Amino acid sequence: MTLDAVLARIDTTLPEALERLLELLRIPSISTDPAFAPDCARAANWLVDELNSLGFQASTRPTPGHPMVVARHEGPGRHILFYGHYDVQPVDPLALWDRDPFDPELQDTAKGKVIRGRGASDDKGQLMTFIEACRAYKDVHGTLPGNLTIFLEGEEESGSPSLVPFLRDNADELSAEIALICDTGLFADTQPAIVTMLRGLLGEEMTITAANKDLHSGMFGGAAINPIRVLTRILGGLHDAEGRVTIPGFYDDVDELPEAVRAQWQNLAFDHARFLGDVGLTTPAGESDRTPLEMIWSRPTGEINGIWGGYTGDGFKTVLPGQAHAKVSFRLVSRQDPDKLREAFRAWVRAQLPPDCSVEFHGHGASPAGTMAITDPAFEAARRALTDEWNRPAAFVGCGGSIPIAGYFKSELGMDAMLIGFGRDDDQIHSPNEKYDLECFHKGIRSWARILDRIAR
């Protein structure tokens, strides 16, 4: 009956939990932009104060980048580590936000109450579901649940440069028996899910240089090579007519989906027309011989995430620029090796450069894909807890996003992870007007209370 008491406590204290989340959301902890480094530190300190007030032994840990937050509660049972990240994505284009991204509020919408603001869903709202579940547990039991470590990162949105060294340096402290990662979503907005398959990510930035300065397109146009022309020709050939990436060897280490998994996915009620329709699209744009779920869960991609060169302001400037730039990323699956593919991409670009053009590359993050072992009984326990809370069977699913932490927990600490989250497809994470449904926040807290009740003892 104590679970019921914890759940009741969660219900009655929801307004206070919401106020705490709004306070955290007001801190603009954008990790990719060095200008916001003090705000990242502020968010870390805010969390340390919260966790200490709950009875954790919490502290920030310096890194060459933004600090880590580590909080420990020694108790009975299996050692469980919870992971979330307190940093958020940049907010541009700011003009497309309906309000200041860092002045969050609860809003009434046609679909219900939402918490609006940068990080509401990714990942501050999600990580607070776990902290609030711990708080309610303590309110009822007088102590925190089980044998817990909470580990919060501040560089997830900028490639996690400090993560692996930190895991290695603190392996003893952070090696639990299983990890809980809260940075994913419900399946198709309504069905609780545990992610067991994650895509990896490879990020590259490239600059093509032609002339040693910007030129006048009247004086030089026709005779001087235009690096934007070169960049568009190369990147315009990144996919073939069937939507396949054209880099030689790109698919060498991509496994076909096991038949059993394919069958399970076919039973999922994935409405791809709605999935695309919600963002104004109708037609799956990936490999023409794959289903939409394969496109986003089990097939690799190549995307141009940013491109710029020449004059991009108001009006017109007949410039023939000296340089052109792009940011390109690849979602990886199966055994695709990020380092090997980084070199393959660079070689593919270099082989296409015309005379007088050179290219410089700047590597961003690289993480392989991850596949969880679901034999640990915690997976089944969590699946049941989620099914109880949401009144729909929880599913083991894939995830198109890259959550490198799961791979690093496995490779660095030998620790399996359960990825459980409560985001919805329309949360607009990484986009203007990000939100988190109040229902997801509330039932997310309740879900963790149920999961902790089953596994943290």
Footprint of its own copies on residues 37-66 (CB under 8 A)? none
Query: Site size for its own copies, by CB under 8 A?
Result: 101
Q: How far is the CB of 146 from its own copies (least distance, A)?
A: 31
Tell me the window of 2-10, 125-133, 172-180, 282-290 that interacts with its own copies (CB under 8 A): 282-290
Coil, helix or strand at residue 255 = coil
Preceding amide of 123 cis, omega within 30: yes
Question: Which of the ranges 109-117, 173-181, 201-209, 376-384 carries the binding residues for its own copies, by CB under 8 A?
Answer: 201-209
The Cα 241–Cα 359 span in angstroms is 26
Round to the nearest angstrom and report the end-to-end CA distance of the chain: 15
331 belongs to the binding site for its own copies (CB under 8 A)? yes
Residue 400 interacting with its own copies (CB under 8 A): yes
**Backbone Cα Rg of the chain:** 23
- CB of 233: closest distance to its own copies in angstroms? 4
Altogether, the residues listed in the chain come to a count of 457
Q: Where are the beta strands (DSSP E) in 123-214?
A: 147-153, 178-181, 193-198, 200-209
Pairing of strands 68-73, 147-153: antiparallel
Q: Is 236 in the site for its own copies (CB under 8 A)?
A: yes
Single-letter amino acid, residue 190: T
Among positions 60, 292, 387, 411, the unique one binding its own copies when judged by CB under 8 A: 292
Tokens of 278: 């919600």
**91/413 with CB nearer its own copies:** 91
| One of 37, 220, 361, 454 touching its own copies (CB under 8 A) | 220
Contact with its own copies (CB under 8 A): which of 126, 160, 329, 447? 329
User: Applying CB under 8 A, does 90 fall inside the site for its own copies?
Assistant: yes
> Counting contacts by CB under 8 A, is residue 256 touching its own copies?
no
**Spatial separation of the C-alpha atoms in residues 357 and 120, rounded to whole Å:** 44
Quick one: which of 51, 136, 152, 228 contacts its own copies (CB under 8 A)?
228
The residue within the footprint of its own copies, chosen from 18, 25, 47, 89 (CB under 8 A), is 89
Smallest distance, Å, CB 312 to its own copies? 4
Residue number, 380 or 425, with CB nearest to its own copies: 425
Tell me whether residue 4 is exposed, middle or buried, using C-beta atoms within 10 angstroms of its C-beta: 0 to 12, 13 to 18, 19 or more. Answer: exposed
Q: Which of 11, 16, 92, 360 binds its own copies (CB under 8 A)?
A: 92
Q: How far is the CB of 98 from its own copies (least distance, A)?
A: 12
* Residue 415 to residue 409: CA distance in whole angstroms: 5
* Encoded tokens for 422: 């409560």
Q: Point out which span in 129-137, 277-285, 339-347, 375-383 binds its own copies (CB under 8 A).
A: 277-285
C-alpha–C-alpha distance, residues 172 and 372, integer Å: 22
Query: Among residue numbers 157 through 196, which ones bind its own copies (CB under 8 A)?
Result: 157-159, 185
**Residues 417-436, interacting with its own copies (CB under 8 A):** 425, 428-433
Contact call for residue 94 and its own copies (CB under 8 A): no
Q: In the structure encoding, which two tokens stand for residue 452, read together?
A: 């902790």
Separation of alpha carbons 163 and 62, rounded Å = 11
Contacts of its own copies in 297-326 (CB under 8 A): 299, 301, 303-321, 324-325
Write the binding mask 335 to 354 for its own copies: x where contact by CB under 8 A, - elsewhere: -------------------x
Among 29, 162, 196, 402, binds its own copies (CB under 8 A): 402
- Residue 22 CB neighbour total at 10 angstroms: 17
For residue 269, the minimal CB distance to its own copies (Å) is 17
**Residue 118 binding its own copies, by CB under 8 A:** no
List, in order, residues 6 or more apart from 309 with CB less than 8 Å away. 227, 228, 231, 321, 323, 324, 325
Cα–Cα nearest to 170, from 44, 77, 68, 79? 68
Q: Which of 19, 61, 65, 69 is nearest to 43 (CA)?
A: 69
Q: Per-residue contact track with its own copies, 355 to 394, x per CB under 8 A?
A: xx-------xx-----------------------------
The residue from 176, 296, 405, 415 that contacts its own copies (CB under 8 A) is 296
Cβ nearer to its own copies, comparing 50 with 157: 157
Angle between helices 14-25 and 438-455 (to 10 degrees): 110
Q: Classify residue 341 as left (phi > 0), alpha (psi -120 to 50) or beta.
A: alpha
Exactly one of 172, 213, 256, 269 binds its own copies (CB under 8 A); that residue is 213
Which of 67, 59, 80, 86 shows the shortest CA–CA distance to 144?
80
